[in-house]
Chain A
Amino acid sequence: MRIGVLSLQGGFAEHISSLTKLNAEAFEIRKKSDPIGNIDGLIIPGGESTVMRKLLIDTELFDPIKSLIRDGLPVFGTCAGMILLAKNTADNPMGGFDGIDITVKRNAYGRQLSSFMIEEEFADIGRIPMTFIRAPYITTVRSDVRILAIVNGTKVAAENKNILVTAFHPELTEDLSVHQYFLKKILMNKAYFR
């Protein structure tokens, strides 16, 4: 499977390493000439969402990725990636890919002193380690969105048709189960569209 990892800023190397451990072919997407048309899935990593959004527009990657998402490309966003994929952001609307009908709140738990690690249930997987770094959480969802994990009463992972989002960073732990979940989602998605 060929997975592009958006590599404009943030924790992209960690995602590539997780995917490589799962024997997926992972490579960086940095500019328009990179082969975004020829991928089975895309990961939007953690980092600063404001930075990534600006660089997406500057590199003219924003529109092509937005249409790929609309056409059903499976995309997995962690932390800043979740913010960019959400339909709405609660605090200051920034206009992202509108991939999944959720509203997210940025820096929802507070500053770095409030970053935390926890083990919690993730749908269909079981208990996994979750690392939250100045993380967002989901405030509201539409009915076609499935909530995958709840931590301390806050919604932290969700999916709909082709989009998977987590407020935490599976790529920062040794646990590969969420990446595996995404790869499985791609396979199911492929079968569905065929």
Chain B
Amino acid sequence: MPSFPEARWFQTLGQLMQTEGELFRRLGYAETRFAVRIIPDNNSNGGDRIVGLTIDGYQLSEVKPIADLNEFDPDFVICGKREIWDRMLQEIAEHGRPELRHTLSSLALVGEELWLESTDQLREDKFYRFNQTLQELLNLASKVPE
């Protein structure tokens, strides 16, 4: 089975998003193109990877590894060390969601363990506009078959 942070792992999230359609319809549609950047931690568990994702309504319509961020032109990039992503996914696997202070929004607020990069605050604000959709998408990691 694909594992984080392979693009195919995110595609599995996309398939689960379709299965869990009602949850996302309840939240309302989202329209954003963004990227997830996974930076190797001190233990070098994996390389620096960027995955581009597009949410079009209630579906993850595009997932692909990104070599050139400028070309992909995301609204925002969520950046974090591998160990932080791993911790979040571990908590999601155990409880279905991250701990209160380890959500995407909370971590990005502090900006140390996870941070946002964007060329325009207006586009970065889509991270907040669609935040619950983004978090629920990641929370589906608890349902990815191992």
Partners in one complex: no
